[in-house]
Structure 1
């Protein structure tokens, strides 16, 4: 079989794009050159091209993902939804609870999809997802599965708001809790009194996410329900086999 024809400049541009996408903070040109092992003049040339086309944006501190890349990413997410929602609906019906799918993208935790529980029950997300990763089961599941660099960047760039008396607001305590090796993450009325959420992490081809269920605090997650939650995480990982966070 003949070797494929590869265009070196495209490969180099993609390496820069991937480096920026993998960082929670803007990256300067010199650091990008070191990370990608590209000559600095080549790096500057490719960065200008990517900025002109809208795939990167020049901001204070360096380069961040641009609007064109985010448009591609959002279109990819929309294509996933028909494969995602049946899994969430099945889990919701099985557990009798609202279900949530979240992912880590561009330094933030995003809610991709939600299915309400019986009688339309779901958690009122009164504090935005971006501001409450430290207080939610899905936020903890995601943060625990990020690289140390990305996790530290997230924690250092977000205030640990005191949402309930149970919320962890100390950076040290949060980091220690995230170091635990657990298959299911829980918040014990840390986001909303009377409600506890449970989440299983999702890792697939560069994707870091979590699937979660919200239950009244007096209801514990039974062993068979834990199995169902982990099975849903595996199914969602397969359904979203194409990376969501690399562009």
Structure 2
């Protein structure tokens, strides 16, 4: 399976954050923001925003003299022992914070072994998750998650997926034409959110943004009750702007 790698805003942010982290890790006694700017080539405003995010997520810490050193999160994710548990814990904390900032249930999905898989989510009483009334693995054509993942695959991989999964009509809005779906996936801009406007379930709207890390396509998604549909695009933009910590966790 081939992925169509086109860098997105979160991808660029995660790459810049990795450069900062690598520089901090090389200076075991600490490194100042002035030295970081010189080593990374990042402007002061950009570097300040990245350091704020890295501190919040526990990747770096500031010591007494103001210099930066590596934090507990980086140590846990960089350790071979218990890395999977550490990664799940880190992603869950990030998802919980995203849920609260966008006011919606949020999900991480990956395209693994030829199937759509929702690997983690964060919901709550005021932000209920989507009721999976049809298996997400067989409804990629109707969900924002599925369409975002399919859009990141090459043409042959998309056709292979659709050959294995019937495009059933789940609501009156579901796309059931393979030709129409493939055309829309081809035209999907890599940096724009993919939307599901009651295509999977009546009463629910969703949006997904790509967070591909490594060889598996991935996406970050949110769902809202249809009465909050007016918030969907703004929530999707907020999700996209704040996706870098998720990508960073997956990349380390």
TM-score after normalising by structure 2? 0.62
2:135 corresponds to 1:128: yes
How far apart are 1:220 and its partner, in Å?
Answer: 2.2
Structure 1 stretches of at least 4 aligned residues deviating more than 3 Å after TM superposition:
75-79, 117-120, 221-224
Deviation by residue 1:38-93 (Cα, 9 ceiling, x = unmatched)? xxxxxxxxxxxxxxxxxxxxxxxxxxxxxxxxxxxxx9765521121112111110
Which has the bigger relative contact order, CA under 8 A and spacing at least 6? 2
Aligned positions, number: 170
- Aligned partner (choices 208, 220, 226) of residue 199 of structure 1: 208
Q: How large is the Cα RMSD of the aligned pairs?
A: 2.1
2:246 corresponds to 1:239: no
How far apart are 1:232 and its partner, in Å?
Answer: 3.4
Aligned to 1:67: none
Contact 2:140–2:146 (CA under 8 A) maintained in structure 1: yes
How far apart are 1:144 and its partner, in Å?
Answer: 0.3
Aligned to 1:165: 172
1:162–1:184 CA distance, 2 compared to 1 (3 A) = same
2:105 corresponds to 1:95: no
Contact 1:187–1:197 (CA under 8 A) maintained in structure 2: yes
The structure where strand makes up a greater share of residues is: 1
Contact 2:211–2:219 (CA under 8 A) maintained in structure 1: yes
How far apart are 1:138 and its partner, in Å?
Answer: 0.8
Gaps of 5+ in 1: 1-21, 24-74, 243-247
CA distance in 2, matches of 1:120, 1:213: 10
TM-score after normalising by structure 1? 0.63
